[in-house]
Amino acid sequence: MVEGEVRAVAGDRILVVGGGRGIGAGIAAAFPGRAVVWTRATGVDATDPTSLARAFATFQVQHGAPCALVHTVGDFAERPLLGTDAATFRAQFASNVDSVFHTIQAVVPAMVAAGRPGRVVLFAAAGADKDRGMLRAPVYFAAKAAVVQLARSLALELAPHGITVNVVAPGLIDHPHSHGQSQARMLPRVPLGRLGTVADAVGTVAWLLSEAAGYVTGQVLTVDGGLQG
């Protein structure tokens, strides 16, 4: 069902950046034979423009332009603002923001040049688009807020080309690499009373990649079970 939905979008390959584990791996697994995964393990560093350019040159030779780009890279650090050192601050923005910017620069121009409908899906975090401060992981949320703004701006740039750009903002998603202690502490604030699953996030991405979502762009879709605060 998922693969059939996405085939409605012209093109073939779905490029998943950060698809080696967690939500990214779930997205890649949902599209067997169509997803191409970029991770450090496959030799691609999304924070390094040279690495991305080299990888995309190879990708284009093999596949042309992708029909969809899904970027899931983003490290998490839960520290108060005054307890965050400069190295952690820089690392959070490199992983969560720089990697988005450099990936867009490397991949999206070819999607535009292809002249067909396309999709870009980026990842933020539940609450990053809200007008409120964050005591929990403030630098991480600041970085994800930057991702939201990049996505909204890119959506305006790409709309005339038929390419949509949206953000998925997960809440507490349970997978082998999630932050269990933090999630256990936050779980009482989830009205649905459970952690999210990778499938919850993958289903949202699948819909955004489908023809049914062709009139949706510049939006943040929050997947958090109603998380409060």
Q: Which residues contact 25 (CB under 8 A, 6 or more apart)?
A: 19, 37, 198
Pairing of strands 35-38, 14-17: parallel
Structure tokens at 223: 């997947």
* pLDDT in the model for residue 9: 53
The chain-wide mean pLDDT, for the chain, equals: 92
43 contacts 57 by C-beta, under 8 angstroms: no
* pLDDT in the model for residue 4: 43
When pLDDT is cut at 50, 70 and 90, the band that residue 189 belongs to is: confident
Question: What is the residue extent of each domain of the chain?
Answer: 2-223
Which residues are annotated as catalytic?
140
Residue 4 CA to residue 48 CA, distance in Å, equals: 34
Judge whether residue 63 has pLDDT over 80: yes
Judge whether residue 91 has pLDDT over 70: yes
HSE (side-chain half, CA atoms, 13 Å) at 124: 28
Q: Lowest-confidence range among 33-47, 121-135, 141-155, 212-226?
A: 121-135
DSSP alpha helix (H) spans, 41-128: 49-63, 86-93, 99-114
CATH code reported for the domain at 2-223: 3.40.50.720
Is 0.75 topped by the overall pTM? yes
* pLDDT in the model for residue 64: 95
